[in-house]
């Protein structure tokens, strides 16, 4: 769900021979691997904790390190593909993703796993932008429409596969390896896709945009100086370095804004162009997106932990419990374009409200039957949450991109996706830390209740603020 958003593409492209059916399968497999990996990790977190003796704060980093690296380098990955060739960067990103998956699978310590996950996120930032770029450059007309539809469907299918495959692999405990196969399974699949990728068409942009090195460095510094202390500070007793990083964060953010404005005034293309950020559709969409994605990121982390640590579902049961959400998301996302065509921006507040209702229903179900709740009892609330997220998320992307000039479409999608991944990591850092603090003091039941209550409030904020979004049909 969280990684199926449009990636940066270029408006001016050099066309090469068309994309064959085998080539389309290749790029879609390349897109599916990182998405599957995101959801596999969620259901494996308690097992990783038991094996590597990781704190909840470190588990948050296992999730967020991937998202932070992906958010910072996503636009860079798209621009590198435009400059040096989309197929070349697809292959390079896939090689790195395969190698970093191996590094994750053999990580001897929790700290090593966090570093490997950050590297895996960086590899995904090189790999995923090329998928849409290759489709755009090598297809046209109805063939392009079908390819883009299949790309969207790949995200939904991958979420289901990720839940079930992750739970199944961890539960199987192959050769006593516990959680490690969730990463190691990427290695043979990645090698097969690399062989298939040799026949992909190559393309480059006529006038590729340069890489904003200083902006990228400052964005990375801003995110790290904010998120790392939020995740680690409580567990470590707030040592001086965590306080220092939090103090640095706003100054780093101000420097980033200054550099981006200056680069745009000089005629360059910043990482996150201020002129694009000022468009009403983009500005309002990003403001609604922050609470929405923060709520979703924290929910996926906290619910996966609660299912196994509080309700004792086990990894396979946790995957099964989350599957109705993924199936509902996939089904509704395939219908969302028709709903937007008919109802416009109203789809977002409706999605936020349905999500809030689903969270309240989940809260009532778990609290009334704790700790003996079943997958069947959870299913209605999971379906509601999946439906609400599908309506809000897919429509938000359409709204943000609806008024972005065609020649900046890739930049606009990069802005939105960076906001998405940053907010996901922020949700894990804040509400994940809140859950960890309360779980140790008052217990997982009360900690879960409070966090899900906050998530429900955030969903209602989306429902209220989403009413002010511009209509994408205008």
Task: With cut-offs at 50, 70 and 90, classify the pLDDT of residue 17.
Answer: low
More confident residue, 74 or 235: 74
CA distance 141 to 145: 7
Mean pLDDT of the chain: 85
Residue 258, pLDDT score: 95
Task: With cut-offs at 50, 70 and 90, classify the pLDDT of residue 218.
Answer: very high
Residue 414, pLDDT score: 73
CA atoms within 13 A on the CB side of 434: 18
Which has the minimum average pLDDT: 129-143, 184-198, 384-398?
A: 129-143
Residue 413, pLDDT score: 67
Residue 115, pLDDT score: 95
Pick the most confident of 106-110, 195-199, 416-420. Answer: 106-110
Which has the minimum average pLDDT: 157-166, 236-245, 311-320, 464-473?
A: 157-166
Which has the minimum average pLDDT: 105-114, 220-229, 389-398?
A: 389-398
273-318: pLDDT as tens digits: 888 888 888 889 899 999 999 998 889 889 988 988 888 888 888 8
Task: With cut-offs at 50, 70 and 90, classify the pLDDT of residue 11.
Answer: very low
For residue 457, pLDDT beyond 90: yes
Which residues have CB under 8 Å from 341's CB, separation 6+?
473
126-142: pLDDT as tens digits: 888 888 778 877 777 77
Residue 406, pLDDT score: 60
42-66: pLDDT as tens digits: 788 888 988 998 887 788 888 888 8
The partner residues of 13 in beta bridges, in order of sequence, read: 205
For residue 170, pLDDT beyond 90: no
- Other CB atoms within a 10 A radius of the CB of residue 274 amount to 14
Q: Are 73 and 213 in contact, with CB atoms under 8 Å apart?
A: no
Residue 318, pLDDT score: 83
198-212: pLDDT as tens digits: 888 887 777 777 788
CA distance 348 to 363: 23
Residue 13, pLDDT score: 42
Pick the most confident of 91-105, 123-137, 151-165, 271-285. Answer: 91-105
Residue 254, pLDDT score: 96
CA distance 434 to 321: 23
**Mean pLDDT, residues 429-440:** 85
Residue 156, pLDDT score: 63
**Mean pLDDT, residues 2-13:** 47
**Mean pLDDT, residues 147-157:** 70
397-410: pLDDT as tens digits: 778 777 777 656 66
Phi, psi of 205, deg, nearest 5: -80, 145
Q: Are 214 and 266 in contact, with CB atoms under 8 Å apart?
A: no
Instruction: Report DSSP letters for 262-287, one per residue.
Output: HHHHTT---SS-HHHHTSHHHHHHHH
More confident residue, 350 or 141: 350
Pick the most confident of 14-28, 115-129, 309-323. Answer: 115-129
CA distance 22 to 87: 14
CA distance 470 to 320: 38
Task: With cut-offs at 50, 70 and 90, classify the pLDDT of residue 71.
Answer: confident
CA distance 459 to 215: 32
- Other CB atoms within a 10 A radius of the CB of residue 257 amount to 16
């Amino acid at each position: 769900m969280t990684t199926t958003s449009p990636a940066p593409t270029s408006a001016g492209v050099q066309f090469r021979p068309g994309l064959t059916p085998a080539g389309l399968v290749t790029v879609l497999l390349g897109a599916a691997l990182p998405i599957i990996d995101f959801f596999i990790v969620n259901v494996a977190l308690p097992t990783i904790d038991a094996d590597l003796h990781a704190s909840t704060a470190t588990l948050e980093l296992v999730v967020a390190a991937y998202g932070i690296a992906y958010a910072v380098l996503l636009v860079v990955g798209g621009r590198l593909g435009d400059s040096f060739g989309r197929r070349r960067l697809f292959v390079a990103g896939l090689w790195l993703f395969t190698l970093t998956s191996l590094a994750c699978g053999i990580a001897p310590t929790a700290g090593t796993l966090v570093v490997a996950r950050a590297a895996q996120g960086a590899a995904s930032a090189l790999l995923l932008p090329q998928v849409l770029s290759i489709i755009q450059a090598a297809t046209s007309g109805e063939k392009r429409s079908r390819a883009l539809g299949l790309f969207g469907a790949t995200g939904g299918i991958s979420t289901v596969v990720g839940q079930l495959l992750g739970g199944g692999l961890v539960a199987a405990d192959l050769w006593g390896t516990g959680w490690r196969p969730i990463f190691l399974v990427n290695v043979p699949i990645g090698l097969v896709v690399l062989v298939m990728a040799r026949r992909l068409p190559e393309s480059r942009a006529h006038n590729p945009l340069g890489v904003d090195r200083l902006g990228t460095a400052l964005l990375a510094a801003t995110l790290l100086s904010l998120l790392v202390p939020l995740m680690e500070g409580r567990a470590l007793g707030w040592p001086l370095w965590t306080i220092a990083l939090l103090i640095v964060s706003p100054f780093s953010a101000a420097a980033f804004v200054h550099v981006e404005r200056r680069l745009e005034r000089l005629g360059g293309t910043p990482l996150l162009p201020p002129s694009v950020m000022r468009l009403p559709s983009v500005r309002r969409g990003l403001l609604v997106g922050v609470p929405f994605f923060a709520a979703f990121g924290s929910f996926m982390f906290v619910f996966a932990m609660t299912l196994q640590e509080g309700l004792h579902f086990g990894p396979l049961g946790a995957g099964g419990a989350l599957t109705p959400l993924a199936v509902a998301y996939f089904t509704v996302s395939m219908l969302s374009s028709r709903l937007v065509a008919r109802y416009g921006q109203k789809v977002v507040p409706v999605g936020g409200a349905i999500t809030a209702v689903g969270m309240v229903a989940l809260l009532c179900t778990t609290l009334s039957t704790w700790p003996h709740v079943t997958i069947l009892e959870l299913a209605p609330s999971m379906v509601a949450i999946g439906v609400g997220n599908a309506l809000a998320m897919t429509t938000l992307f359409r709204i943000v991109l609806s008024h972005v000039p065609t020649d900046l479409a890739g930049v606009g999608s990069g802005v939105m996706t960076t906001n998405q991944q940053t907010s996901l990591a922020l949700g894990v850092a804040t509400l994940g830390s809140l859950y960890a603090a309360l779980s140790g003091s008052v217990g997982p039941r009360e900690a879960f209740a409070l966090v899900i209550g906050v998530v429900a409030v955030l969903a209602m904020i989306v429902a209220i603020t989403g009413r002010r979004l511009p209509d994408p049909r205008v």
